[in-house]
Amino acid sequence: MIESKIVDVHVEAYIKTLLPENVGLLKQLEQYAEENLVPIVQPEVAQFLKVFMKMRPYEAVLEIGTAIGYSGSLMALEMTKGTIDTIELNPEMAVKASETFASLREIKPEVIVTQHVGNAMEVIPTLNRTFDLIFIDAAKGHYKAFFDLCYPMLRPGGVIVSDNVLYKGMIATNLYLVSRKITIVKRMRKYLAFLTRHPELETTVLPMGDGLAISYKTGGNA
């Protein structure tokens, strides 16, 4: 695993020793991701999401970036009931995710997962509904564009969770900057500044995994 440069390496290693080991579907997906080099949420972020989902009854979730269905399944397993709309650009990933969600239906029939395969910029405007949780874990250079499309669909009191917002420490300091990533870094810095200054959001940025931003919507639609 690549060092994140966000948390001291010894602290990060220690925290990982405290995490409970997943079983069943999630464990199978973790093994698949490791064997096939598929990026999924980091273990400490996965555990955070488990706890976060238990804190209130999220019943309408939008996920931007399905991959193999790991984070979607993790959230679904913590929901009592509800729906998840999840969007994936890569059709090969979507095929694997469809297998994942078929298994999930047998375990958690109370949560209905609807897959959307295609560009999130095109899919989001077709979703004629509202959400109380939006999880963004897709192309990092497009987070602001994703936000602009889905924010009007977020109910007051809803939450947007943005993953990978510190991007191996490069967002925080140019000391870690890789030149070919400069466009992504500039866009993510602008995105975080936008979130933290938004008049209808309360946002906190957590140095966890590859960086996590939690934004609570206090007002009506922008």
d(CA 84, CA 61): 5
User: pLDDT digit string (tens) for 120-158?
Assistant: 999 999 999 999 999 999 999 999 999 999 999 999 999
User: 């990533």: which residue's tokens?
Assistant: 181
3-state helix, strand, coil in the chain (%, to 5): 50, 20, 30
144 token code pair: 């602001």
d(CA 34, CA 149): 32
The full set of domain ranges for the chain reads 9-216
Q: 2.60.130.10, 3.40.50.150, 3.30.70.1290, 3.30.230.70: which CATH number matches 9-216?
A: 3.40.50.150
pLDDT score for 176 = 86
Average pLDDT of the chain is 94
pLDDT score for 161 = 98
Sign for the pseudo-dihedral over CA of 18, 53, 215, 186: positive
pLDDT score for 3 = 59
d(CA 164, CA 191): 12
User: pLDDT digit string (tens) for 75-101?
Assistant: 999 999 999 999 999 999 999 999 999
Helix (H, G, I), strand (E, B), or coil: what is residue 110? coil
pLDDT score for 222 = 41
pLDDT score for 2 = 52
pLDDT score for 177 = 84
Residue 69 per-residue DSSP state:
S
- Average pLDDT per consecutive 10 residues, the chain (222 residues; last block may be shorter): 74 92 96 96 96 96 98 98 98 97 98 98 96 96 97 97 94 88 94 97 95 90 43
d(CA 52, CA 75): 9
pTM over 0.95? The answer is no
